[in-house]
Amino acid sequence: MRRIFWVGVGVTATILVIRKSKQLRAKYSPPAIVHRAMDDLGERAEAVSGRVVLAARSFGEDFTEAKTRRDAQLRGALLSRGQQDPDDVRRQRAAAAQEFPAAAERLLNDKDDDLPYSF
């Protein structure tokens, strides 16, 4: 009876050792290592891409804000006191063109002649 017990223990231990060795071999084989590295790289790439998207959005917002401020500075420097804003002049021309279609061609082709400066 003792022999059968120890044979069973030996068979069980052998089966456990074989299974564990197969798991270790699969874990440390080159394809498994490559797969784990790619998974890790994918996670890192997702984190980096998220930060890049946030940085790009932040840059876009900062750029738009700075462009708007600079545009206001340039308009203030170019326009004399009491002079209409060029965008207002263009809107008035477009409204007049809709109101008087016959004169639309002349008004729309006569660009910026009402402004006291030229380039």
The neighbour count for residue 115, using CB atoms within 10 Å, is 14
Where in the chain are the domains?
2-78, 85-112
List, for residues 71-80, the tens digit of each pLDDT value.
888 888 887 7
pTM as predicted: 0.40
List, for residues 10-54, the tens digit of each pLDDT value.
889 999 998 898 888 777 777 777 777 777 777 888 888 888 889
d(CA 3, CA 6): 5
Q: Which bin fits 46, alpha (ψ -120 to 50), beta or left (φ > 0)?
A: alpha
